[in-house]
Amino acid sequence: MNRLDKIGKSGELTIGLEFPLDNDWSAMGDQKRKQDGRPFGVPDIANHSKLAQLADELGFAALWMRDVPVYDPNFGDAAQQFEAFSYLGYLSALTKNIMLGTAAIVLPLRKPILVAKSAASIDLLSNGRLMLGLGLGDRAVEFPMFGYNYEDRAERFRSGVELMKHVWKKNGYLDNLYPELGLGMQVFPKPTQESVPLVMAGHGQQSIEWIAANMQAWFNYPRNVMETKHQATQWTTELERAGLGHKPYITAFHLKLEADPDASVKPHRFGAALGRNALIDLLKDYQTAGVNHMALQLRHSSRPLDEVMSEISQYVLPIFR
C-alpha cells in the first residue's frame, strides 16, 4: 500500500493545514502578540493541541510543520516553536487518522543517523502516518552554530538521504558504510515499511531527475496557478520519462477565509483573502494544474481558527475527497 495515496492520487486533490495554528498575521492577532510581549513570528500556541485534534476530527488530510532550530529576529520566524520530532511524537498520540508531515527538516543541520532513528520512531508510534519532508536550509547564520559548512550542504543532503535509506533496511548494517565498526551494528527501530516516505521541500540545489528518483513527493513553495502548472508539468514529465509512476505534487496557500462565502479574491503574498466559493473554484484550478495536495496556512485569518476549519470541512473538503 502506498500511504501517500492519502495525500493525493493522480488527478486528485486533498487538503491539509500548516502549523502554527494561529492567526498572528491578522491585525487582531498582531495586536495580541504585542500585548503578550511576543516577538514578531513567535506564534500563540495556546490552542495548538485542541486545533490539531480538531483538524484530525474534521477530516483534513495532513498537518505540516517546519524545522526552525533558532529564532532569528532578522527572519522573524519561530515556526510552531516546538522541536519538530518531539512535537511529532506528541501529535502521534493526540491524533488518529491525519497524516503528519515535515516541510521541512533541515537535513544538513542534523546527524542523518539520528534523523533516521527519530523518523522511524514517529513512523511506528503514528502507525505509519509520517511523511518526512526534507530541506536544504537557507539560513546561513545557523550552520556555524552546529559546526557545519553552509557551502557544502547540497552534497551533505544527498549523502544524508542515502544513509537514512540504508539504515532503515532490514539488514541495513552500518559496517557496510563504516568498515572500521564492529559487525552487526544497526539502527533501530525500523519503519513500518522499507522506507519512511521522503518529501523534497523546494529544489534543495538538486536536479529534478535526482528528486524524482530519490523522493516520494515534491513540496513546492506557493505560486500562482500558471507557475504551479509549469512546475507540476515538469514533475509529471520527469516521472513519466523515468518510468517511476505517480508521485504527489504538493504546494501551499496562505488563506484568509472571509465570512462572506461570495467574497471575491484579494491577493496577498503567497495567497489571498477570499470567500469559500472562490476558494473552491481556485482549488479546482490548482487541481487541474496538477496539484495533488494543498497545505493551507491560516495565519492571516481574522476569524477564530476553529470556525474557519469547520467551514472548510463542511463546504470544501467534501468536494475534493
pLDDT tens digits for range 46-96: 999 999 999 999 999 999 999 999 999 999 999 999 999 999 999 999 999
- Is pLDDT at 177 greater than 90 in this prediction? no
Rounded to an integer, the average pLDDT of 219-243 is 97
Distances from the Cα of 3 to the Cαs of 131, 132, 165, 266, in angstroms? 9, 12, 17, 36
CATH of the domain at 284: 3.20.20.30
Using DSSP, state whether 145 is helix, strand or coil: helix
Give the total number of structural domains in the chain: 1
Predicted local distance difference test score (pLDDT) of residue 205: 97
Nearest to 204 by CA among 127, 295, 103: 103
Neighbours of 238 (CB within 10 A): 18
- Is pLDDT at 176 greater than 90 in this prediction? no
Residue 207 has φ and ψ, to the nearest 5°, of -75, 155
- Domain containing 297 equals 3-320
Contact 25, 300 (CB under 8 A): yes
Cell of 181: 565498526
- Is pLDDT at 180 greater than 90 in this prediction? no
